[in-house]
Chain A
Amino acid sequence: MTFDRLVFLRLLVGLALFAAAALSCAYLDNYQLQVFTTLAMFCVLCWGWNIVGGYMGYPSLATIAFFGVGAYADGIAQVQGLPIGAAWLCAAAAGAILAVLLGTALLRLKGHYFAIGTIATVEVCREISNNWSELTGGAIGLNIPIQAGDPDFVGRFFFLAMLGLALIAFLATVLVDCSRFGFGLRCIRENERAASMVGVDVFKYKVGAFVLSGALSAAAGGIYASMVAFIEPKDAFNLIMTIEIPVMVMLGGMGTVFGPLVGGVFYVVLKEFVWAYFINWHSGILGVIIVAVIYFLPQGAFGTSWSALFAKARSRARATP
């Protein structure tokens, strides 16, 4: 573990941002709180994905499978009468268990097969939750006890809960970024065979990353389920969301600490805007955004070397007087 100035700086900036967000909840109205909670949720999902997709370089599309399983675990636990905090722990545990099982089976695959296998996981999870009516309520959905308290309190409660989870995800990412574990993951991304040759226990590292990512995503699902108090299969296992998450991280920069935060915030705000003004065209506009990101910012905001880009633009401007 190298605990140098860069790590310290990152922690300082991150914690300042989180503190500002936590304090801001005193001044926000309920709509703004809702948007901020969604923001925090997507940041958790992005940070979770970034560990597998960014640092380890495996194109996982299973984020929403974990998210949905977490949502259902939380819902079922709460319906059984567990207190809300215990239900969230259940959600995280369910995600971790699923990640161990899935990881053992799927992480041996590479490239497209891994991507397709993870997409198939989302589909299978949705079909199972659709058909196993005794447990999940089937296609009708599952009603979860609504958190007691007046709307102002409940909104702030869930916002702070999601923000706390985002803080955990952020700290986990900082830790991964500067630790031996993260170094091993980067080695796997660059060349898996070479990584195993120099003594990285490739399988253990890969499953470890998957479990960390799965538990974070599932916990986010759990808090989300408690917040909306009603989940149904097509909501919990949404195929579009599972591809949106990598796009957000790509926007910010894969395999960076602040990339997922920047990408997630930018994308969610943009999406909120598109939903508000172009409801009929929202999926088309999202498609255009995705295509534009791939052509113009493939390395993300943090991966692009802006100074080089400006230098190029300047030299071009000079060449054409």
Chain B
Amino acid sequence: MALGQYLVNGLLQGGLYACLAVGFSLVWGVLNVVNMLHGSLVVLGAYFTLYGVQQMGLPLYLVVPAVCVALFLFGYAIQRSLLNRVMAQPILITLTLTFGLDLIVNNLILHVFSATPRSLVTDFGALEFLGIRIPVVRIGGMLVAGLLTLLLYWLLRHSRIGRAIIAVRMDRHAAALMGIRIPQIYALTFGIGAFMAAAAGCAVALIYPVTPMMSGVFLGKAFVICVLGGLGSVPGAIVGGVVLGLVEGIGTLVLGPQWATSMGFLLMMGVIVLFPAGLAGRKGYE
């Protein structure tokens, strides 16, 4: 039943990955910015959750929304004040700028929360099904992450703001002519990206011990998923997340755990060279 266990683990991991990558993918697709800050936003979300639950003693269902909203405001402010000024510049500029911001934020996290790994001890038990063991907390984490991702999908398809974001993604000049305030939409999109990063961070805090050094790992996963799924598409992020989760699960079984990360990156390089629009991507989204 080892294969089944690895498949289930991979699927659960995939839900988390989808939530992790969807904000990154949206920012890349709509703003044309590779957000190097994303990993640190995830870690920040995780630390805020830990702080809220452990230091302030608040219940989880209050902490999670508060953290997400806080990071939304943080992301909105960063885009509004810093990134909107350099949006017309070449890729290298926005990429290095977000990298610089990432160094600053990560240094602050390190200073405030220290490098010691911390974890939220949660024991909700586990389900046993056909010899496959599934911890409840991981199902919970995946459900929250998955539901938020679906909510974002719904928001993009059916709300006014969502349609405006999609319009900017398709053609920012035409969108501007239709009366959409582009800087406003950019800031909102970046805020939503940070919101989703915070949600992923909450799920991470429930499942793993957290250290500031994890941000690079999360950023790497987000790259891979985003390239697999295509830019700026929510269903793409879900597909990419699940594919990456399964590939890592099976790769761990076949080659051993030390190769799991490189498998993801090799998969991504293969896809990047063969299908520059992503596996689920469509033309015009690249």
Contact = CB atoms under 8 A, between A and B. Distances in A.
A109 B276 contact: yes
B212 to A, nearest CB: 10
B262 A283 contact: no
Given A120-B269, A127-B262, A294-B86, A239 B216 contact: yes
A207 B223 CA distance: 25
A269 interface: no
B54 interface: no
A112 interface: yes
**For chain A, which range describes its interface: under 10, 10 to 19, 20 to 34, or 35 or more residues?**
35 or more
A115 B91 contact: yes
Interface in A226-247: 239-240, 243, 246-247
A298 B94 CA distance: 11
A286 B103 CA distance: 7
A130 B262 CA distance: 10
B131 interface: no
B130 interface: no
Given A112-B34, A287-B102, A123 B107 contact: no
Interface size class of B (residues with CB under 8 A): 35 or more
Contacts of A289: 100
B55 to A, nearest CB: 22
Contacts of A287: 99-104, 107
B265 interface: yes
Contact of A283 (B91, B93, B103, B216): B103
Interface of B: 28, 32, 34, 82, 85-86, 89-93, 95-97, 99-104, 106-108, 111, 216, 220, 223-224, 227, 258-259, 261-262, 265-266, 268-269, 272-273, 276, 286
Interface of A: 53, 57, 59, 105-106, 108-109, 111-113, 115-117, 119-121, 123-124, 127-128, 130-131, 239-240, 243, 246-247, 250, 280-281, 283-284, 286-291, 294-295, 298
Given A108-B273, A124-B266, A287-B104, 16 more contacts: A115-B91, A116-B34, A117-B269, A123-B261, A123-B265, A124-B265, A127-B262, A131-B262, A239-B216, A250-B96, A280-B111, A287-B99, A289-B100, A291-B100, A294-B86, A294-B96
